[in-house]
Amino acid sequence: MAELMVVNLFGPVVGLVVLWLLPTMNLRTLPFGIRVPAAHADAPVIAAQLRTYRRWILGAGLVVVAATVALTYLLPLPVAQGVALLAIVAMWLPAFLRARREIGAAKEREGWYDGLRQGVVADTSLRTEPVRFPWLWAVPAVLLTAVTAVLGIVRYPDLPPTLVTHWDLDGTPDRTMATTVGTAFAVVFVQVLMTALLVGLMWASIRFRPDLDAAAPKVSARQYRGFLVATAKAVLVLAALVDVSMLVISWQMWGGGARLPAGVVVLPVLVGTAVVIGSALRTGQSGSRLPADGEPGAGTAEENTGVVQRDDDRYWPVASFYVNRADPAMFVPKRLGVGWTVNIGNPKGIALLAAILLAPIVLTVVLR
C-alpha cells in the first residue's frame, strides 16, 4: 500500500508545488496574467492577492492531499489519480480567477496606464544571430531511446507468447497481452515520440517570438537568450530521465528482471521535474530573474526608453490562452509559468495544437 500511496501522491504534490510557485515564475509586470506598468508592480492589491492566493493553495492543498490518501484505499489507481488532479484544478481555479479579477479591477479603476507611452520591441538579432542550441544536452535522451529500441530488438525473438503489462502490489502479474510488435514496443514508440517532441520543441523555441520589455529592450533581450539556453537544457535533462523510466518499464515487460517498486520508476521523472521547476525559478519567465550584464539587478535601471510594454490583456481572455488573429506567430511566451503557448487565433496554431493533443490518441489506436 505504501508504494501505491507514493504513486497516487506524486501528481497532486507536484501540482501543488508548481501552483504555489507559479507567481514567482511570472514577470513582475504580469501578476496573475494581468499586464501592469513596472511602476505598479508592487501595488498593495497585488501583494494582498498573492498572500490570499498562497494561503488558499496551502490550506485547500492539504485537504486535497488528505483526500488523495483516502481515495487510495477506496478507488482503483487510475480513478483515484484522476479525481485528485481534477480536485487540484477545481481548488486552484477560483483562487487564481479571484486574484486576476481584483488586480484587473484595480488597474482599470486607478488608471495605471493613463498618460503612459505604450509600445512593443523586437530583437532582429535573434533571427540573424540565433542562440546556439545545446545539442550535447540532447545526446543522453537520444542515446537512451536508441538503447531501449536496440534492447527490444534483441529480446523480441525470445519473448514469450504473452507479455506481462501490469503487476499488483505484491508483485503478482495481473494483466497480460499477446506478444506483437505493437505490444512489445508500445513503450518504445511512446519514448521515441516523447523524445522527438521535446527535442524538436526546444530546437524550434529558439525561433519563437520573445516578449521583450519595451522599457529595457537590450537587457531583456540578453536575459531572454539566457532563458532559452537554460530552459532547453532543463527540458532535455527531463527528457533523458523520463527515458530512463521508460527503459525500466520496457525491460520489465520483456522479462529482463524482477519487478521494481513503482517508486524506482517514478523517481527519475520526479528528479527531472524538479530540474525543470528549479530552472524556471532561477530564470523566471523570459529570463526576467536572470542577472543583467552578469550582475544581479545591473542594467535595468540604466536603460529606460520611457516606453512601457503595451497593455495587451484583450488578447489573453483567461490568461492561459492567447487569441490574436492579426498575429502571425504560432507560439508566444506564456503568461502563467515558464515556456510558450499556442496562438489559437492563428489557424496554423490551432492545427498544431490539435495535432499535439491527438497524437497520443492516434498512437494508442494504431498500437492496438
Phi, psi of 174 (to 5 degrees): -130, 5
Evaluate if residue 363 carries a pLDDT over 60: no
Does one domain contain both 38 and 127? no
Cell numbers for 246, please give them: 521508460
Same domain, yes or no: 85 and 216: no
Q: What is the C-alpha to C-alpha distance for residues 120 and 110, in angstroms, rounded to an integer?
A: 23
Length, in residues, of the chain? 368
Q: Which of 111, 137, 171 is where one domain is finished? A: 111
Boundary-marking domain end, from 83, 111, 139: 111
Report how far residue 45's alpha carbon sits from residue 104's, in angstroms, rounded to the nearest whole number: 10
230 and 143 in a single domain? The answer is: yes
Considering only CA atoms, give the Rg of the chain. Answer: 23
Residue 364 lies in a domain: no
Q: How far lies 189's CA from each of 181, 186, 249, 266, 303, in Å?
A: 10, 5, 13, 19, 50
Asked whether residue 256 falls in the same domain as residue 127, the answer is: yes
Instruction: For residues 80 and 172, state if they share a domain.
Output: no
The whole-angstrom separation of Cα 102 and Cα 50 is 11
Q: Last residue of some domain: 48, 81, 111?
A: 111
Mean pLDDT of 270-286: 91
Same domain, 93 and 164: no
pLDDT beyond 90 at 364 = no
Contact 77, 7 (CB under 8 A): yes
Q: How far apart are the C-alpha atoms of 226 and 286, rounded to whole Å?
A: 9
* Residues 57, 23 contacting (CB under 8 angstroms): no
> What confidence tens digit (pLDDT) does each residue in 86-116 have?
888 888 999 999 999 999 999 999 999 999 9
Taking only the tens place, the pLDDT of each residue in 121-147 is 888 888 788 899 999 999 999 999 999
305 within domain boundaries: yes
Provide the domain count of the chain. 2
C-alpha grid cell for residue 137? 544536452
Paired with 163 in beta bridges are 177
- For the chain, give the mean pLDDT: 84
Segments forming the whole domain that contains residue 225: 123-310
* Segments in 215-295 forming alpha helices (H): 217-253, 262-283
Q: For 169, how many CA atoms within 13 A lie in the half-sphere containing its CB?
A: 11
Q: Which residues contact 117 (CB under 8 A, 6 or more apart)?
A: 306, 307, 308
The β-bridge relationship of strands 331-333 and 162-167 is: unpaired
Q: Are residues 302 and 187 in the same domain?
A: yes
Based on the fold, state whether residues 45 and 139 are members of the same structural domain. Answer: no
143-192, pLDDT tens digit by residue? Answer: 999 999 999 999 999 888 888 777 665 556 667 788 888 888 989 999 99
Let me know if residue 242 belongs to a domain: yes
**Is there a domain that residue 162 lies in?**
yes
Question: Across the strands, what pairs with 342?
Answer: 331
Judge if 172 and 296 occupy the same domain.
yes
Judge whether 315 lies within some domain.
no
User: What is the distance between the alpha carbons of residues 262 and 6, in angstroms, rounded to a whole number?
Assistant: 8
Tens of pLDDT, residues 56-71: 999 988 888 888 777 7
Asked if 131 and 78 sit in the same domain, the reply is no
Task: Specify whether the CB–CB gap between 144 and 247 falls below 8 A.
Answer: yes
| 368: in domain | no
Q: Are 353 and 365 in contact (CB under 8 A)?
A: no
pLDDT of residue 296: 42
263 and 160 belong to one structural domain: yes
d(CA 50, CA 19): 12
Residue 134 lies in a domain: yes
- pLDDT tens by residue, 307-333: 999 999 999 987 778 999 888 888 888
The verdict on 42 and 71 lying in the same domain is yes
Q: Would you say residue 323 lies in a domain?
A: no
